Structure 1
Amino acid sequence: MIDFQLSPEQLAVRNAVRGWAKAHLTTARSVYEGQGASSGKWEDRFRSTQPIYAEAVKAGLIKAQIPKELGGAGGPLIEAALVVEEFYAVETSASLTILGTGLGLTPLIMAGSPAQHEKFFKPFLTGTGTPMASLVFSEPGGSANFAEKGAPGFQTIARMEGEQYVINGEKIWATNCSGWDDRGADIQCVLCRVVGSAPAEDVRGQTAIIIVTREDIAANDPSAYQVLYHPETIGHSAVNGPHLRFKELRVPKSNLLAPPGKGADVVEMTFTASAALVGAMGVGIMRQTFDRALIWAKAEKRGSQETMIQKQSVADLLIRIKTRCEATRALVWKAAHCFGRTRYGAELCYEAKIFGSESAVESVMDAINLVGVSAYSSKQPFGDLLNDAVVLPIFDGGNVGVRRRQIESIFASEGYDPWETTFGPNQ
């Protein structure tokens, strides 16, 4: 029997997060947009959300991104999808900062040793402060082809010197990586190449993940870790994703999380799980879009004798938005259910990311066309929603440069069964 009903436990998670989001995220945009306008500093918008983040820590929303078996309170991927949707159905920037810590912790969850788990999870399990984690992946020159055979690979490199790794290179777009004060997140999982660990042409064999902590940065010369600037983006306007530079930054050998040859596998699995969650972000944005457009259509007459909801052209656009939202949620839930359970669960995660992210952009555009020129006013929410939505197809593995190519590779694999995730193997 197919049952899309949430379990009592899942429903409790959803309701608790929905209540928290309503209480703490509803006014977040007015907080950070007001701060950015008054100071003129981009990074101050991000820093103004720290009290919201602190409330998320107190509510256990950071601890919930670590599995129960590792001391946290987190459950399966479907629960994470429920959380993401409820966040994004209210607000995006402060939400992404909270969720970005979960992404930053995922390589540690997947690849960390028991000793590393005990050491590095500590600040995230106390329920106090505002600890942050970051997956430090992208580089200024582009990273979509980092593992391509014969390619130069990551330009951030590490070399062994005695009992230390010495890191050099530049990174950008890594959510939360510089922390609240530009001296680093509590944990940064840095993708790099380890010099001499594999033949020069084997960039995948050289790729590793090394943990960098705030304590490591503080133990180095201040020039070893520099934030060069904070890129100003058109949406998610209070998110930290700076351009930073490592210069002879030294960390203990014990900070090696994924050794050369394993780093690429770990980061690819990390981004497989996160793909489904980007689909859930799309669902949240579509929920916001539909709710606001429906309110408008039921209230506005625009010079007519009847409200706009009575116009077939308007109703048709609303139907398209609602249908995309429902279809994406079903795909996200299916992908979350299949992740790690079936051979081709990854395919559904990638498809959820592509379909959900592109549907979100299309849905906001439909709402703008539905409302007409009034939607162009900054007093309406649709411009902000569009600015937030347009990043979904291009971040967390761009749909063109990464996600569609990943699906293509699955399709081309020997013995691929296109319907195994639905009907089981060989059906």
Structure 2
Amino acid sequence: MPIDFELSKEQLGLRIQAREFGDQILRPLIDKVESEPIPEKRFQLTKEAYKAAYADGSAFGFLPKKYGGAGLSTLDYAIIAEELCAVDPGVPTTVVANGLGLMPVVYYGSEEQKERFLRAATSDPSGEFVAGYGVSEPPGRHSGTANFDAPLPAPAGIGLTATRDGDEYVLNGQKYWPSTTGGWDGQGANLNLFVVRTDPSRGGKSGISAIMIERGTLGISYKAIDKMAHHGARNDEVIFKNVRVPAKNLIEGTFGNGDLLINRNFGWSGPLVSAAALGNARGAYEYALEWAKNNSAGGPEPIIKYQNVGYVLGDVATRIEACRYFVWKAAHYLDSHDYHGEMIGAMCKSFVTETMFDCVYKCMQVVGTNSADRKLPFAKFFKESAIFPIYDGGNFGMQRRRVHGILADPGYDPRALAENRLVEFTRDMEGIDTVPGTSI
């Protein structure tokens, strides 16, 4: 029978390992990280936990075995992400950023680049190696990134320029919100993948590429952003001033194809972020269920005996279960189609993260006023749930627009996903509705 919702022995092992990691290593960090006011120090507090993830192979386990990874599937990682994020999303977000920074090398890199960059990531004796991913840019008239594929002339879209000068590219511009790029000490991650405009005369989706920047490269400054949640993960403001990078660091297959890389990358991370949101909501649900079984709110019986509480928690349990299977379907689809899941990844991310946000709030309603007490975990559950829909290619920006672009294509087959057939994403599907009043 090809459809089987029973996890394999290996996947059950990964789940148990992740659950133990969350309880034993992540949980003791929560209060320390949440009470630290300085964002750089919050991230540094997770270093030992990250090193434990590196040691057990999960920090770069998504990379092929050929280059030192564990060859874990996207579905494997979705299972891990749910368990870890039921406790805290900090270290798991750093691991996903590793993937966003290095999976493009798997997709588009030359063999030399794969050996050079991927092997470095999986063979660090210190266990501290991190990779960053930088697409988003500061908000402003022509900047920001939500409409990066708008078919408009320069300077619309990606504004970080990379100008060829002999055997080097010279980078100038800014990024805002990239993940993990500042590294542990604010001097840069070991490797950072930045999406750049290699043809500064072009705007929108044209002339975009991706380049790797190694730690120690001069002319770059990193400043950690103070966020409302995901305190255990790092996001940065990055400024480039005449930064010289070897031309051999430009990922070979991304030259002029950076727009397709962005969409493919956020397709890959879609089910993983969804799994994280699912785990966070599951943590809220399990706490609310236990609360309902042990608190009477002044009545004669625990509140779980009342119809409204039972119905609300039943609906939450139903949605969590349904979203889990959507995550598994999307992850399996990516594993079946060479990590192409531009449509289903976006659908999964938008639906699951928003559904789980609502579930967390429903759990707070069950607990009532006490859910606002910081002695309980709901303030954290709620803040974390609010982040998932608005980051990682925000649901109101890149995610839904990617689905819209595919639906509008004359060749789209609405039965393809149901039959697990590839839905190809092409450049013609980009940019829809990015120019007000028109459809591209």
TM-score greater than 0.5 by the shorter chain: yes
Cα distance in 1 for partners of 2:353, 2:57 equals 28
Cα distance in 1 for partners of 2:288, 2:353 equals 19
Which of 139, 144, 147 is the equivalent residue of 2:146? 144
Q: Deviations over 1:254-291 (max 9, x none)?
A: 10114431222122111101111111112101210111
The aligned residue for residue 386 of structure 1 is: 382
Whether contact under 8 Å (1:96, 1:239) holds in the other structure is yes
Supply the AA of the counterpart residue of 2:228. I
The aligned residue for residue 211 of structure 1 is: 212
Identity in percent: 32
What displacement does 1:164 show? 0.7
Q: Is 1:418 the counterpart of 2:419 in the alignment? A: no
Q: Is 1:193 the counterpart of 2:194 in the alignment? A: no
- State TM-score, norm by structure 1: 0.92
What displacement does 1:163 show? 0.8
Cα distance in 1 for partners of 2:420, 2:379 equals 43
Cα distance in 2 for partners of 1:54, 1:235 equals 22
Secondary structure, counterpart of 2:179 in structure 1: coil
Cα distance in 2 for partners of 1:342, 1:167 equals 34
Cα distance in 2 for partners of 1:423, 1:190 equals 35
What displacement does 1:202 show? 5.3
Whether contact under 8 Å (2:50, 2:59) holds in the other structure is no
Cα distance in 2 for partners of 1:108, 1:146 equals 21
What displacement does 1:201 show? 4.3
Cα distance in 2 for partners of 1:63, 1:128 equals 14
Q: Aligned in 2, Cα 1:144/1:347: closer, same or farther, shift over 3 Å?
A: same
Q: Is 1:253 the counterpart of 2:247 in the alignment? A: yes
Matches within 5 A, 1:315-334: 315-334=310-329
Whether contact under 8 Å (1:28, 1:91) holds in the other structure is no
Cα distance in 1 for partners of 2:419, 2:247 equals 47
Supply the AA of the counterpart residue of 2:129. P
Supply the AA of the counterpart residue of 1:247. K
Matches within 5 A, 1:198-347: 200-201=201-202, 203-215=204-216, 217=217, 220=218, 224-227=219-222, 229-258=223-252, 259-339=254-334, 341=336, 345-347=341-343
Supply the AA of the counterpart residue of 1:10. Q
Unaligned runs of at least 5 residues, structure 1:
none
Cα distance in 1 for partners of 2:89, 2:60 equals 20
Q: Is 1:351 the counterpart of 2:347 in the alignment? A: yes
What displacement does 1:379 show? 0.8
The aligned residue for residue 79 of structure 2 is: 82
Moved more, 291-300 or 412-421: 412-421
Q: Deviations over 1:26-67 (max 9, x none)?
A: 212123134x1xxx4221111111111111111111231312
The aligned residue for residue 111 of structure 1 is: 108
What displacement does 1:21 show? 2.2
What displacement does 1:329 show? 0.6
The aligned residue for residue 164 of structure 2 is: 160
Secondary structure, counterpart of 2:227 in structure 1: coil
Unaligned runs of at least 5 residues, structure 2:
422-440
The aligned residue for residue 14 of structure 1 is: 15
Cα distance in 2 for partners of 1:65, 1:171 equals 26
- State TM-score, norm by structure 2: 0.89
Which of 123, 130, 138 is the equivalent residue of 1:132? 130
Whether contact under 8 Å (1:300, 1:307) holds in the other structure is yes
Secondary structure, counterpart of 2:27 in structure 1: coil
Whether contact under 8 Å (2:198, 2:256) holds in the other structure is no
Cα distance in 2 for partners of 1:19, 1:128 equals 24
Secondary structure, counterpart of 1:75 in structure 2: coil
What displacement does 1:361 show? 0.9
Aligned length: 412
The aligned residue for residue 429 of structure 2 is: none
Cα distance in 1 for partners of 2:125, 2:26 equals 19
Moved more, 51-60 or 6-15: 6-15
Q: Deviations over 1:368-394 (max 9, x none)?
A: 111111111111111111101101111
What displacement does 1:415 show? 2.9
Cα distance in 1 for partners of 2:283, 2:359 equals 10
Secondary structure, counterpart of 1:235 in structure 2: coil
Whether contact under 8 Å (1:43, 1:238) holds in the other structure is no
Q: Deviations over 1:94-140 (max 9, x none)?
A: 32123322222121221111111111123321263201101111000
Cα distance in 1 for partners of 2:105, 2:341 equals 22
Supply the AA of the counterpart residue of 1:302. A
